[in-house]
Amino acid sequence: MDERDPKLYVDVNIGKSGVERIVVYEGDTADSLATEFCLKHNLKPEMREKLVILLEQQIAGVLPKIEEGEDGDDSEEDSRRR
């Protein structure tokens, strides 16, 4: 079990086998996650390419929000008060 804090969970429908979850941690890449997932579940290379795109979109959508929230930067609010 990974001791880092998960940044994102992505549930992937893999057909008859059901849904499997990919857990994304800070520093993970879409390419490495997709490759590992496809090897584990014996998926075709075309599926890996689609999965890379999906993961890139999901990671891009959530990680900037996390980074913004962790900054604690109130400069925008301060500039409105001046």
Domain with residue 33: its CATH number is 3.10.20.870
| pLDDT tens per residue, range 14-64 | 888 899 999 999 889 999 999 999 999 999 989 999 999 999 999 888 766
| pLDDT tens per residue, range 62-74 | 766 655 665 555 5
Alpha helices for the chain (secondary structure H): 30-41, 45-71, 75-81
Q: How far apart, in Å, are the Cα atoms of 7 and each of 26, 74, 80? A: 6, 23, 32
Beta bridge partners of 13: 19
Structural contact between residues 20 and 12, judged by C-beta atoms closer than 8 angstroms: yes
Number of domains in the chain: 1
Look at residue 52 and tell me if it is in a domain.
Answer: yes
Return phi, psi of residue 10, to 5°. Answer: -125, 115
